């Protein structure tokens, strides 16, 4: 379980370490055991007042691509430091004109055992064309749960953090450390699936 304090420390580190001119605003720093995802806001492209939806979409896509290429070296330098410090891969994304685009991500495999009624749910999603495979169907179910139970999950996380704080006050308490896993090479090999760039 990652505590609010750990999340704040990671966000604070990125807020201090990122070049001042990289983002207009640091929108989000999300983390779990494998990955830190950094999302920043970039300026929207300037368009004529009569620009249609297709032109707006193409302009935003072009702005995101330009930002990604221009800032690659700076972002990779920060990612190498963060991966060494926190033991997690770093993924990047931007918000531009209300649209969010992720450049990279870790797709971590999760193994589970399911009974027949649960497998039938996944197979129904496949038969209905919602998913291509059982793993794809399971990911779809997780996204659906996430959409509809954010409040409940938030309360559960808060409860877990309270339990952790109480445990930390016990006689065997040890200092917290956000560095939980060894780092991999700077190109992200050997952990999940990435698109080859950060």
d(CA 13, CA 88): 14
For the ranges 25-29, 138-142, 151-155, the maximum mean pLDDT occurs at: 25-29
Q: What's the mean pLDDT when you consider all of the chain?
A: 84
Distances (CA, A) of 66 to 14, 21, 22, 45, 166: 22, 15, 13, 11, 48
pLDDT of residue 195: 43
- What b-and-e string marks burial along 88-99, b requiring 16 or more CB atoms within 10 Å of the CB? bbbbbbbbbbee
pTM: 0.66
Phi, psi angle pair for 63, to nearest 5°: -65, -40
Residue entry with tokens 């998913």: 131
Angle at CA of residue 158, ends 156 and 163, nearest 5°:
95
pLDDT of residue 174: 63
Q: Given CA atoms 151, 155, 160, 161 in this order, what sign does their dihedral have?
A: positive
Q: Identify which has the larger pLDDT, 183 or 153.
A: 153
pLDDT of residue 75: 97
């Amino acid at each position: 379980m990652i505590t609010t304090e750990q999340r704040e420390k990671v966000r604070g580190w990125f807020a201090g370490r990122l070049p001042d001119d990289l983002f207009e605003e640091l929108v989000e720093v999300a983390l779990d055991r494998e990955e830190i995802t950094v999302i920043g806001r970039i300026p929207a492209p300037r368009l004529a007042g009569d620009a249609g939806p297709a032109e707006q979409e193409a302009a935003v896509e072009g702005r995101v691509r330009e930002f990604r290429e221009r800032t690659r070296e700076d972002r990779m330098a920060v990612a190498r430091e963060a991966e060494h410090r926190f033991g997690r891969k770093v993924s990047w994304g931007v918000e531009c004109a209300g649209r969010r685009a992720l450049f990279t991500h870790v797709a971590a495999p999760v193994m589970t055992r399911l009974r027949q009624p649960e497998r039938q749910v996944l197979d129904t999603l496949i038969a209905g064309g919602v998913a291509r495979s059982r793993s794809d169907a399971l990911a779809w179910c997780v996204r659906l749960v996430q959409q509809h139970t954010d409040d409940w999950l938030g309360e559960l996380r808060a409860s877990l953090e309270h339990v952790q704080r109480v445990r930390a006050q016990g006689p065997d308490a040890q200092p917290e450390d956000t560095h939980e896993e060894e780092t991999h090479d700077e190109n992200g090999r050997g952990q999940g699936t990435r698109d080859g760039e950060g």
